[in-house]
Amino acid sequence: VASDLIELERRAQELLDPGVYGFFAGGADEEVTLAANLAAWTRLRLRPHVLRDVSSVATATTLLGQPLPTPFLVAPMAYHRLAHPDGEVATAAGAARAGVPLVASTQASVSLEDTAAAEPEAPRWFQLYVHRDRGYAAELVHRAAAGGYRALVLTVDLAAYGNRLRDVRNEFKLPSWLRIANAADRFNDDDDDPVSIASQFDPGLSPDVIGWLRELEDLPVVVKGVLRGDDAVACLDAGASAVIVSNHGGRQLDGAVATADALPEVVAAVGGRAEVYVDGGVRRGTDVLKALALGARAALVGRPVIWALATGGAEGVQAVLDGLRAELERAMMLCGTASLDALTPDLVVR
């Protein structure tokens, strides 16, 4: 077992094909935002309390009204079968054992039905890219509802595909055996280029799409990829139930603000009207604690789950998520905070 998530990445890198590793690890352009996400959590300093009875600490919470043991979600990521033959089935199993909801990607390499069937009782959300083909987008929403997914995560930061220079340099192509399983060969089944696949997504979206989704099914819409307070308010006004402060793990607009830096503005603008989540560079229990102190209700974890999947399959995924929970519990004890309600902004020096 890796002692931390940074070391885990090194192990995964040894195992994976260099092109695949670059696809998972990389960001856009100079990877300024990729690095900034990590640095911004690290830069924040804590102001711990002492003498605050922490003989028992509780990480339990609710997300969109659903009780959960920890304030974590597995971030939606494409193509888990590039990391492990069982792909999203193994991720779902590991996440379920840790009690962490999986946000399944539109671009998954296992269909949303098969992922749901792997862990029927586990909480799960579905991430939606809205295709230009609105019939297909609507079909995905209906299938997600039928498959027991409890929220739609609408990703809005991919109006164009980020310029992933590692993939350009590696001439990275998807292997011919890999399928965008939800599409079931509906689009070019021999398309091996992530850039051209992404061109199927509609760059013409406006907040109206949120109302359209809510008419299709009775599922809460969580908008992912918000970095500004005014946009968060526009999403809520249009019917969203929550927003995720995210820059897509630095894979889209390079130079975009780090998520730890954007979070306070979004939390202030939302003003308690809705839940706010955050992702990007969350690697340690103290990062989660800082995120919650700054007003996030939960943090999504991305790449570390892929590294865990690649190195240890379902067990690896469970170990990483259990480990993060243990780190959060330790951080809470050392900050004198026995419950998540006690995580307030004064714990953090910005």
Residues that bind ligand FMN (CB under 6 A): 24, 37, 75-78, 105, 107, 127, 155, 224, 246, 248-249, 251, 279-282, 301-303
Judged by CB, which is closer to ligand FMN: 243, or 301? 301
At closest approach, how far in Å is the CB of 244 from ligand FMN?
8
At closest approach, how far in Å is the CB of 212 from ligand FMN?
18
Closest to 54 in 3D by CA, of 329, 268, 343: 329
Q: Which of 80, 84, 131, 248 is catalytic?
A: 248
- Distance (Å) of CA 151 to CA 148, 223, 314, 317: 9, 10, 23, 22
**Which residue's CB comes closest to ligand FMN?**
302
- Is residue 297 within 8 Å of 277, Cβ to Cβ? yes
Amino acid, res. 333: M
Judged by CB, which is closer to ligand FMN: 302, or 312? 302
DSSP state of 266: H
Q: Which residue has the tokens 């789950």?
A: 305
Q: How far apart are CA 36 and CA 231, in angstroms?
A: 21
At closest approach, how far in Å is the CB of 128 from ligand FMN?
9
Amino acid, res. 318: Q
At closest approach, how far in Å is the CB of 76 from ligand FMN?
4
At closest approach, how far in Å is the CB of 318 from ligand FMN?
17
Judged by CB, which is closer to ligand FMN: 289, or 301? 301
What does the DSSP assignment read for 253-278? STTPPPHHHHHHHHHHHHTTSSEEEE
Judged by CB, which is closer to ligand FMN: 70, or 246? 246
The torsion angle over the Cα atoms of residues 77, 103, 136 and 224, rounded to 10 degrees, is: -80
At closest approach, how far in Å is the CB of 332 from ligand FMN?
21
Amino acid, res. 97: R
At closest approach, how far in Å is the CB of 77 from ligand FMN?
4
- Is residue 253 within 8 Å of 28, Cβ to Cβ? yes
Strand blocks (E) in 9-145: 45-46, 61-63, 66-68, 72-74, 102-104, 124-128
Judged by CB, which is closer to ligand FMN: 31, or 48? 31
DSSP state of 256: P
Judged by CB, which is closer to ligand FMN: 72, or 229? 72
Strand pairing class (45-46; 348-349): antiparallel
Amino acid, res. 259: T
CB-CB neighbours of 219 under 10 Å: 20
Which residues have CB under 8 Å from 156's CB, separation 6+? Answer: 205, 223, 224, 225, 226
**Annotated catalytic residue 49:** no
Q: Which residue has the tokens 């209906």?
A: 142
Judged by CB, which is closer to ligand FMN: 67, or 175? 175
Look at the chain and count its residues.
350
- Which sign, positive or negative, has the C-alpha torsion 258, 289, 312, 114? negative
Q: Which residues are tagged catalytic? A: 248
